[in-house]
């Protein structure tokens, strides 16, 4: 049966009840819909371990696809260094997570960690998909670089680029926007349209840019873990994007509250 809807959902960050509610609101049907989760299933929200297990047991067997985000990557790197410490005595030099997050990260099985760190960095929507011509990625792309040559670290972390040179910039002190920076979407020229997560532009509505005629960039992370909303973009054949969201049940994490 041909898919009639493409659905993309922004960063879940352990907000499992909001994810379940959004799927119910969308009347998600595995026979009719293709569904892509834009990464960062873990951290910040109340149920990261349960979220990963729900996605793996209930959604991916139904063909749902998931993109790797920077938080899953960070978890995997930390677990690898902890294993190396146990095996070799070489100290784990990564910044230590909070006690709560450490216990969560240790609760994942090796198989679950391998699954998270083996997820793709991007998904190009295929011919025949309602979302043909779109690419899904966690954070975004470095403008001026062909998609095939994008670095995984950039695709998981990019927010801003220098407004003159186009080089990727990091957030400043206290997570402030860097000076002389613009959001990468303002410099993206396509030809593909892009749907992404990672960057909370606001707690209510997704960010939509049209940096070139007919080229859209849609940021779907509306900060569910920060007390905002969990948002989906829905595409049907021949129609523009529709947005569906549910409010967070609580503010689980302070916005801008630390790298870990």
The pair of three-digit structure tokens given for residue 42, joined into one six-digit string: 């873990």
Q: Tens of pLDDT along 240-249? A: 999 999 999 9
Q: What is the pLDDT of residue 172?
A: 64
Q: Has residue 259 got a pLDDT over 70?
A: no
Residue 27: pLDDT band (50, 70, 90) is very high
pLDDT > 70 fraction of the chain, expressed in percent and rounded: 93
Contact yes or no for 1/27 (Cβ under 8 A): no
Q: What is the pLDDT of residue 80?
A: 87
Contact yes or no for 17/47 (Cβ under 8 A): yes
The phi, psi pair for 103, rounded to 5°, reads -65, -35
Contact yes or no for 67/136 (Cβ under 8 A): yes
> In the structure, how many helices (H) and strands (E) does the chain have?
6, 13
Mean pLDDT value of segment 206-223? 97
Q: What is the pLDDT of residue 258?
A: 45
Domains annotated for the chain, with CATH where assigned, are: 5-247 (3.60.21.10)
Residue found under tokens 């040179």: 165
Q: Has residue 176 got a pLDDT over 90?
A: no
Residue 180: pLDDT band (50, 70, 90) is confident
Q: Has residue 83 got a pLDDT over 70?
A: yes
Q: What is the pLDDT of residue 238?
A: 86
Lowest mean pLDDT across 25-39, 74-88, 148-162: 74-88
Q: How far apart are CA 149 and CA 151, in angstroms?
A: 6
Residue found under tokens 């892509």: 36
Q: How far is CA 101 from the centre of its chain?
A: 19
Q: Has residue 32 got a pLDDT over 90?
A: yes
Bridge partners of residue 207, in order along the sequence? 219
Mean pLDDT rounded to a whole number for the chain: 92
Mean pLDDT value of segment 204-227? 97
68 against 178, higher pLDDT: 68
Q: Tens of pLDDT along 91-146? A: 766 776 788 888 999 999 999 999 999 999 999 999 889 999 999 999 999 999 99
Q: Is the peptide bond before 242 cis (omega within 30 degrees of 0)?
A: no
Q: How far is CA 126 from CA 51, 84, 134, 136, in A?
A: 27, 40, 9, 11
DSSP 8-state code for residue 58: I
Residue 260: pLDDT band (50, 70, 90) is very low
Strand order from edge to edge, sheet including 160-162:
168-169, 160-162, 181-183
Listing DSSP states for 96-121 in one string gives: PPPHHHHHHHHHS-HHHHHHHHTS-S
Please indicate, yes or no, whether the overall pTM of this predicted structure exceeds 0.75: yes
Residue found under tokens 């379940």: 20
DSSP 8-state code for residue 225: G
Residue 142, burial from CB neighbour count under 10 angstroms (0-12, 13-18, 19+) = buried
Handedness of CA 169, 161, 167, 66 (dihedral sign): positive
Q: How far apart are CA 36 and CA 141, in angstroms?
A: 18
19 against 102, higher pLDDT: 19
Q: Is the peptide bond before 144 cis (omega within 30 degrees of 0)?
A: no
């Amino acid at each position: 049966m041909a898919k009639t809807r493409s659905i993309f959902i922004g960063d879940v960050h352990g907000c499992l009840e909001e994810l379940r509610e959004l799927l119910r609101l969308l009347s998600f049907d595995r026979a009719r819909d293709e569904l892509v989760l834009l990464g960062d299933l873990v951290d910040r929200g109340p149920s990261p371990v349960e979220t990963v297990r729900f996605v793996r047991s209930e959604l991916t067997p139904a063909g749902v696809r998931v993109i790797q985000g920077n938080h899953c990557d960070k978890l995997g790197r930390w677990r690898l260094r902890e294993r190396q410490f146990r095996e070799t005595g070489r100290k784990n030099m990564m910044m230590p997570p909070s006690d709560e997050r450490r216990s969560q990260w240790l609760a994942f099985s090796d198989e679950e960690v391998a699954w998270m760190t083996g997820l793709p960095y991007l998904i190009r929507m295929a011919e025949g998909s309602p979302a043909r011509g779109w690419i899904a990625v966690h954070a975004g792309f470095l403008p001026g670089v062909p998609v095939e040559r994008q670095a995984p670290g950039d695709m998981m972390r990019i927010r801003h680029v220098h407004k003159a040179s186009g080089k990727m910039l990091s957030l400043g002190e206290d997570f402030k926007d860097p000076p002389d920076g613009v959001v990468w979407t303002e410099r993206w020229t396509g030809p593909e349209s892009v749907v992404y997560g990672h960057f909370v532009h606001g707690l209510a509505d997704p960010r939509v840019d049209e940096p070139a005629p007919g080229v859209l960039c849609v940021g779907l992370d509306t900060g569910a873990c920060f007390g905002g909303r969990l948002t989906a973009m829905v595409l049907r054949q021949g129609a523009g994007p529709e947005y569906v969201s549910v409010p967070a049940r609580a503010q689980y994490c302070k916005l801008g509250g630390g790298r870990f």
